């Protein structure tokens, strides 16, 4: 049951929620940031004050982040990005054993309105009574063990031998751990050329003209732009590339690098020459087309711009030659280019995640931020791949507008 006035569940009360909020905000998952505690405290306080209907993306941008009255969430995803990071930190908080029995404050995906759940049951495992353990008979030594015992060493010698053995095992264990810690994971190796600079990283995202339209470039002539309307049933291409931005944004920020977020039309060559960059979006981001145009795998299309695909310059193979931009179906196969390279024009390391449609871009964003995908990539490229330029073609099955797991179709490294 809910409190009729403010929606607080009947099994708890305002004081308990506020106490739990204080505990969470004092935890290192939140206390080491100013943005995350402020955001979470704001939405919880608004909710318990009975103003849940006011917890909207635009309101949060103005009230929490100090954006002006002209703030437009579509052009600045700071609220969505922050909410995604808070959800991750909440999950990490409640995974810790000390917090399993606490009231749960959650921020559901797709909403900024908090919810509250009862603590999970955390009954400790039942251990047998000490008396029972003491009464349990020991196994009789096996004959071989008995024969070995006949040749036992003097007590002092045995003590020294055991001590030396334990010391040796400790040294070997520490050495092994240090070796493991010194070997970065495949995902870290993929990103290392960019993140190791410890400089700000530019992320360039597509700029959608308005809520109901999207501009796509002709890969063979960037001066030609086709504006597609949402009411043409564009399937996965219509919703922008924000789902690809969120995991990339969170991954880079978790590593400690700052981010300069710009839309494609405001991204200049000078910007790309100053810092490493991540380019998101395929046909709706001209920089993806320009930077991959001379690579082995690149975008191409029919003269009428009604069919688009990714082509292999060496073999002539191509992926995605159906009329993918104009399909009325929300279930189809999409393709994307993923690349990590030092661009010869900007002389900066760049990562590109670019799909034929938004579904492919989303799958590419997942591919460059998931450890399992980095492991699969490492198995397809030479041993020194972290120091090489890499280009990958991936495929994904779009089901009802949602991309499935990405899978590697082709790889080139140089």
Instruction: Calculate what percentage of the chain has a pLDDT beyond 70.
Output: 72
- Closest to 209 measured CA to CA, from 188, 231, 236, 238: 238
Instruction: Tell me whether strands 115-117 and 201-205 are parallel, antiparallel or unpaired.
Output: unpaired
Which residues contact residue 331 at a Cβ distance below 8 angstroms, ignoring those fewer than 6 apart? 397, 398, 399, 400
pLDDT reported for residue 246: 79
Distance CA 67, CA 63 (A): 7
Distance CA 379, CA 100 (A): 38
Choice between 66 and 179, residue whose per-residue pLDDT is larger: 66
pLDDT reported for residue 46: 94
Torsion angle of C-alpha atoms 377, 378, 379, 382, degrees rounded to 10: 120
Task: Kindly report, residue by residue over 84-97, the tens digit of the pLDDT.
Answer: 889 888 988 888 88
Tell whether pTM > 0.75: no
pLDDT surpasses 90 at 41: yes
Distance CA 132, CA 388 (A): 62
Residue 341, Cβ neighbours under 10 Å: how many? 20
SS3 45: helix
pLDDT reported for residue 75: 74
- Percentages helix, strand, coil for the chain, rounded to the nearest 5? 40, 20, 35
Mean pLDDT score, 10-25: 93
Q: Is the dihedral of CA 154, 155, 159, 160 positive or negative?
A: negative
User: What are the sequence ranges of the domains in the chain?
Assistant: 14-117, 187-413
Tokens linked to 95? 């995974």
Task: Kindly report, residue by residue over 321-340, the tens digit of the pLDDT.
Answer: 655 555 556 678 889 999 99
Distance CA 356, CA 237 (A): 8
Choice between 119 and 51, residue whose per-residue pLDDT is larger: 51
The gap from C-alpha 3 to its chain's centroid, in whole angstroms, comes to 37
């Amino acid at each position: 049951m809910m409190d009729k006035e403010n929606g607080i569940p009947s099994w708890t009360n305002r004081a308990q929620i506020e106490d739990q909020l204080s505990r969470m905000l004092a935890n290192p998952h939140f206390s080491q940031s100013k943005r995350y505690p402020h955001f979470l405290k704001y939405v919880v306080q608004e909710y318990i004050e009975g103003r849940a209907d006011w917890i909207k993306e635009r309101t949060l941008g103005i009230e929490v982040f100090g954006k002006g009255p002209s703030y437009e969430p579509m052009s600045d995803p700071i609220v969505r990005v922050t909410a995604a990071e808070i959800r991750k930190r909440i999950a990490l908080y409640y995974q810790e054993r000390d917090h399993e029995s606490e009231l749960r404050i959650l921020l559901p995906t797709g909403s900024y309105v908090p919810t509250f759940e009862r603590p999970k049951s955390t009954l400790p495992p039942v251990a047998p009574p000490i008396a029972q353990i003491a009464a349990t008979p020991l196994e009789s030594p096996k004959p071989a063990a008995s024969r070995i015992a006949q040749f036992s060493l003097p007590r002092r010698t045995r003590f020294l031998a055991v001590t030396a053995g334990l010391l040796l095992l400790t040294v070997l264990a520490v050495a092994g751990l240090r070796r493991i810690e010194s070997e970065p994971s495949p995902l870290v190796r993929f990103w290392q050329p960019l993140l190791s600079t410890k400089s700000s990283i530019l992320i360039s995202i597509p700029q959608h003209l308005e809520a109901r339209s999207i501009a796509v470039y002709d890969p063979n002539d960037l001066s030609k732009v086709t504006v597609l309307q949402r009411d043409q049933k564009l399937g996965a291409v219509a919703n922008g590339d924000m789902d690809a931005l969120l995991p990339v944004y969170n991954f880079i920020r978790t590593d400690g690098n700052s981010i300069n977020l710009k839309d494609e039309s405001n991204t200049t060559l000078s910007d790309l020459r100053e810092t490493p960059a991540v380019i998101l979006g395929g046909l709706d981001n001209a920089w993806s087309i320009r930077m991959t145009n001379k690579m082995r795998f690149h975008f191409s299309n029919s003269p009428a711009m009604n069919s688009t695909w990714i082509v292999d310059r060496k073999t002539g193979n191509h992926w995605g030659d159906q009329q993918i931009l104009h399909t009325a179906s929300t279930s189809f196969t999409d393709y994307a280019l993923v690349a990590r390279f030092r661009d010869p024009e900007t002389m900066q390391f760049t990562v590109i995640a670019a799909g034929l449609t938004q579904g492919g871009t989303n799958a590419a964003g997942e591919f460059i931020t998931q450890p399992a995908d980095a492991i699969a990539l490492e198995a397809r490229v030479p041993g020194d791949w972290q120091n090489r330029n890499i280009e990958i073609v991936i495929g994904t099955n779009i089901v009802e507008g949602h991309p499935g797991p990405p899978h590697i179709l082709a790889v080139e490294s140089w």
